[in-house]
Amino acid sequence: MIQRTEHTNNSPRFSNKPVLVFWETTKACPLACKHCRASAIHDPLPGELNTQEGYALIDSVTEFGTPAPVLILTGGDPMARSDIFELMHHARNKGVKFAVSPAVSPSLDSEKLTRLRDVGATSISVSLDGACSETHDRIRNIAGTFDNTMRVIREANAIGLAIQVNTTVMKSNMREMAKIFHLIKSMGVKTWEVFFLIKIGRGSEVEEITPQESESVCNFLYDSSMCGMTVRTVEAPFIRRVASMRRSAGMYCGDIYLGLRNELSALGYSANEPSSIASIGTLDGDGILFIANDGSIYPGGFLPLKLGDSRSNNIVEVYRDNEMLKGIRDRSINGPCGTCRYKQACGGSRARSFVSSSNPLGSDTACAYAYNDLHALYKRQCDDK
C-alpha cells in the first residue's frame, strides 16, 4: 500500500534515504478540485520531464540503495501521460516499487485498472471527500465523480488491486467523516489517508478547519484506527501526539469529536482493536522527497521550497546534504513546536509552518496543543457528555 512508514523511538531519523519519493508526473488532469495543491490544468505544461528524463529519475531513486524508496506516481493525473505504462515498466525492471494516484474519471476504466495491476503497481489511491455525491462532486467540481469513485473502488477490489482512499478534511466535509469511514469500510477499503488542508494552489481559497477542530478530527481518526482500518494523516503529524495523550488519558471531550464518536458508535463500530496510529513517523524532508513535473526538488508536495532540480542535481545528495532538511530531521524547530515535549514524535507540519510564516522550521499553526493547554479535555471520563 501507499505507506508513510513508521520507525521506533530508538532508530535514527530517515537521514540516509526517504521512505517515499513522490513524482508529480504532470499537471494535466481532467478534474478541477477546489483544494488542488497543484492547481492542475487540462493540458500538460511545457518543460515537464520527458520519457528519458523520467527513466533517469527512476534510475536515481535506486541510488539510495536497496531497498529503494517507494516511488509514488502522482499529478495532476499520471494517467494523462501517454508514456505512463512505459515508465512503470522501467520502474519494475529496476526493482523500484511504485504506487499510483490517478484522478478518477470515466477514462479510468476496468482495462486500465487491470493494466495497473499487471504492470506491478503495489496499490492505487483515489480521493473521496464526501459521503455522498452532493459533497464530493461539489468539491471535485465535476458531476458524476462520486459515482465514478465508487465504481473504481469496486472494480479494483474485484481484480485484487490494492486501493487506498484519500480524504482532504475541510470545513465543508468535517462532519461527514464518520459517514465517509463507514462507506469505505463497508466497501472493503483497508487504508484511509486523511489530508489536513495546506493553503497552497487552489486550496488557498478553501476554508480550513480550526486547531480545535483539527484536535477533534484527530481524536476521531484515532478511534477509527481501532476499528480495523489502517489510518494515516498527511500534514497532521500531531495525530501521533493525540494518540499518545489518548493512550495515557483515555478520553477526549471536544464537542465535534464527541459528535463524530457517537455517530461512529451508532453506525455499529466499537473502537476496541489495537490502534494503527504509530508513535513515530515521517515528515516532509524526513522520509519524504517530492519531484515536481519540471524536475524541481522539494521536501514534500505541500512545501513549495525548491531545493534543486533533478535534471542537474543528484536527488540522493540533495536529500542527504541539504541543511534545511537536516534541520527538519534534527528537529531544529522554532517557537512552540521547538519546545514541545512531543516534537520528536510529531515535529509539526513543516509545510503549514512555511505557508503561514515563510519559515519551514517554525511552528505548526494547526496544532491546538502548541498554543493551548488541552489537558483538561483529555481525561478518563467526559462529564455530562
Per domain, the residue ranges of the chain are: 20-283
DSSP reduced 3-state for 213: helix
Cross-strand pairs, 99: 72
Q: Report whether pLDDT(203) > 70.
A: no
The pLDDT assigned to 29 comes to 87
DSSP reduced 3-state for 88: helix
More confident residue, 46 or 164: 164
The pLDDT assigned to 323 comes to 97
CA–CA gap between residue 247 and residue 232 (Å, rounded) = 17
pLDDT tens digit sequence for 108-148: 999 999 999 999 999 999 999 999 999 999 988 889 999 99
Note the helical H segments in the chain.
51-62, 84-93, 110-119, 133-140, 145-159, 177-186, 211-224, 239-249, 255-266, 315-321, 323-330, 335-339, 350-357, 368-371
pLDDT tens digit sequence for 62-98: 999 999 999 999 999 999 999 999 999 999 999 999 9
pLDDT tens digit sequence for 341-351: 999 999 999 99
pLDDT tens digit sequence for 322-333: 999 999 999 999
Distance of CA 9 to the CA centre of its chain: 22
DSSP reduced 3-state for 197: coil
More confident residue, 41 or 30: 30
Cross-strand pairs, 298: 290
CA–CA gap between residue 231 and residue 185 (Å, rounded) = 11
The 3-state DSSP composition of the chain as helix, strand, coil percent (nearest 5) reads: 40, 15, 50
Q: Which long-range contacts (CB under 8 A, 24 or more apart) does 135-139 make?
A: 135/172, 135/173, 135/176, 138/34, 138/172, 139/33, 139/34, 139/35, 139/168, 139/170, 139/172, 139/173
Q: Average the pLDDT over 246-269 and give the result.
A: 93
Residues above pLDDT 70, as percent of the chain: 91
The pLDDT assigned to 106 comes to 86
Closest CA to 4 of 159, 125, 149: 125
Confidence of residue 7 (pLDDT cuts 50, 70, 90): very low
C-alpha torsion 83→84→90→92, nearest 10: -160
Q: Average the pLDDT over 259-276 and give the result.
A: 96
Which cell goes with 73? 506516481
Give this prediction's pTM. 0.92
DSSP reduced 3-state for 301: coil
More confident residue, 181 or 139: 181
Confidence of residue 10 (pLDDT cuts 50, 70, 90): very low
Task: Count CB atoms within 10 A of the CB of residue 279.
Answer: 18
Confidence of residue 383 (pLDDT cuts 50, 70, 90): low
C-alpha torsion 224→5→15→73, nearest 10: -110
Q: Report whether pLDDT(175) > 50.
A: yes
Q: Report whether pLDDT(1) > 50.
A: no
Q: Average the pLDDT over 217-224 and give the result.
A: 97
**Vertex 141: Cα angle to 48 and 200 (nearest 5):** 55
pLDDT tens digit sequence for 292-324: 999 999 999 999 999 999 999 999 999 999 999
CA–CA gap between residue 39 and residue 259 (Å, rounded) = 34
The pLDDT assigned to 4 comes to 41
Mutual orientation of helices 255-266 and 211-224 as an angle, nearest 10°?
A: 30
Q: Average the pLDDT over 45-63 and give the result.
A: 96
The pLDDT assigned to 44 comes to 77
Q: Which distant-in-sequence residues (6+ apart) come within 8 Å of 301 by Cβ?
A: 22, 24, 37, 38, 74, 290
Backbone angles phi, psi at 354, to 5 degrees: -65, -40
Residue whose cell numbers read 489511491: 125
CA–CA gap between residue 355 and residue 226 (Å, rounded) = 33
Q: Which distant-in-sequence residues (6+ apart) come within 8 Å of 118 by Cβ?
A: none
- The domain 20-283 is classified under which CATH number: 3.40.50.1820, 1.10.150.120, 3.20.20.70, 3.30.1490.20? 3.20.20.70
Which cell goes with 177? 467523516
- C-alpha to C-alpha distances, 318 to 6, 7, 18, 289, 377, nearest whole angstrom: 22, 22, 11, 10, 42
The pLDDT assigned to 37 comes to 53
The pLDDT assigned to 384 comes to 53
Average pLDDT, the chain: 91
Task: Count CB atoms within 10 A of the CB of residue 250.
Answer: 11
Q: Which distant-in-sequence residues (6+ apart) come within 8 Å of 185 by Cβ?
A: 227, 228, 229, 269
**Are β-strands 191-196 and 163-169 bridged in parallel, bridged antiparallel, or unpaired?**
parallel
Q: Average the pLDDT over 226-249 and give the result.
A: 95
